[in-house]
Structure 1
Amino acid sequence: MTHKTPQFITIEGIDGAGKSTHLARLAERLGAGGRELVQTREPGGTELAERLRELVLGGAAQDGLTEALMVFAGRRDHVRRLIRPALARGAAVLCDRFTDSAFAYQGGGSGVPWTVLQQLEAWACESLQPDLTIWFDLEPEEAARRRAAARAADRFEAEDLGFFVRARAAFERRAGEHAARFVRIDAGQSLGAVAEQLDALLRERGL
């Protein structure tokens, strides 16, 4: 199957899946040949969204819907001020998390109804979807062991196992609904094996 070279790429996975380990490798490949690369993250990416990130990750726990509203407010600003302008001028955009994480964490983890998140997504993103979503998938039990070894600090990383079991199931559901852009990477393999799987994907997509 031939694929169009992706311009907007997102990285997803539950905390502890190791996606951050491979971000530098991805950024290097995407920026090869002098191509402009905008590397960003969510929550965050703009001044407003970074302030909301501090509240979501480091502030007092909120109910799931309040948290979702904060996340999507930041996402709308991020899309309008950074992501769309970058794509419009021909840059590639690499984003550490995007809307799929809201469905996993606020939806699966905290129980916000899927239909509510779909409406928030429509309002905030105005039909913008990634061209490619690389999902680093890992069993929640192994992810918990990795988080413990790394002495995880933010509020989500400290959630209990049940939260991440539900979050992973939500990623699976989201991947089924958006199969054309989702690619699953088995993050339970060794670092070398994950890197090889990632390299093969990038070659296939012309990156």
Structure 2
Amino acid sequence: MYVVIEGVDTAGKSTQLDILKKNHKKAVFTKEPGGTEIGLKLRAMALNGEATSKTAEMFLFLADRAEHIEQVIKPNEGKMVVSDRSVISGISYAKELPLEVVTSLNLIATQNTLPSHVILLELSKEELTKRLSGKTNDSIESRGIDYLLDIQDRMKKTVEMLNLNHIYIDASLSIEEISQKIEGFING
């Protein structure tokens, strides 16, 4: 089982991942970008805004994704793997190229290895505004609320385009309600 938790920043992925770690002690937990040694370097470069070109930024994330599939996902195929972000984010954040082109590049990077379970935590414009106002934003979050809402919409389109097994959850629900919905989806 290859489970991914998706959502724009501040949607509550980290909180839900911490709960999953307590409930699934034998699972392998990872993240994109940064789930491998080279991935940590690529993640730092991308989130610090070192790539001035959006295309270069996308290729940093593609390189991370290819390493992640090879070093983490494939070696653990017989186990439950839970990832903070995945190919869905990779496709959704690469807005400068047509969706079909970005999807093709990501399918090459992942060797067509796709998640078996996708959990997307959704935020309303009001909730996203409230959550972002209370934190220091990285180079991606600094692009603004409309940008992040567009990314969230692209995540949904990507999930549907790839025909992935998924659940959309209102991220403004209580932590416990969200956790119960996630467990129900994973165990269902």
TM-score normalised per structure 2: 0.91
- 2:132 equivalent in structure 1: 147
Question: 5 Å matches for 1:33-44?
Answer: 36-44=26-34
CA distance in structure 2 between the aligned counterparts of 1:152 and 1:20, rounded to whole angstroms: 16
Point out the more displaced range, 173-182 or 36-45: 173-182
Residue from 28, 32, 39 that aligns with 1:49: 39
1:157 corresponds to: 141
SS at match of 1:130: coil
Cα drift, residue 48 of structure 1:
0.8
Does the CA contact (< 8 Å) of 2:117 and 2:186 recur in 1? no
**Counterpart Cα distance in 2 of 1:154 and 1:168:** 17
Alignment of 1:31-180 (within 5 A): 31=25, 36-60=26-50, 62-87=52-77, 90-107=78-95, 111-149=96-134, 151-180=135-164
Contact 1:141-1:161 within 8 A present in 2 as well: no
Tell me if structure 2 keeps the 8 A contact 1:100–1:171. yes
Q: Which amino acid aligns with 1:19?
A: K
Between the aligned partners of 1:84 and 1:195, the Cα distance in structure 2 is: 27
Q: Is the CA contact 1:56–1:70 (under 8 Å) kept in the aligned structure 2? A: yes
SS at match of 1:39: strand
Match of 1:21 in 2: 15
Gap regions ≥5 residues in structure 2: none
Q: Identity over aligned residues, as a percent?
A: 28
Point out the more displaced range, 112-121 or 56-65. 56-65
Counterpart of 1:100, as a letter, is I
Q: Partner of 1:133: helix, strand, or coil?
A: strand
**Displaced runs of 4+ in structure 1, greater than 4 A?**
none
How far 1:132 sits from its partner (Å)? 0.4
3-state secondary structure, aligned to 2:94: helix
Q: Which amino acid is the alignment partner of residue 5 of structure 2?
A: I
Q: C-alpha distance in 1, partners of 2:187/2:79?
A: 19
- 1:140–1:168 Cα contact (<8 Å) kept: no
The structure with the larger Rg is 1
Contact 1:38/1:94, CA 8 A, preserved across alignment: yes
Rounded to whole Å, the distance in 2 between the matches of 1:152 and 1:61 is 20
CA RMSD of aligned residues (A): 1.7
Structure 1: gaps spanning 5 or more residues: 1-6
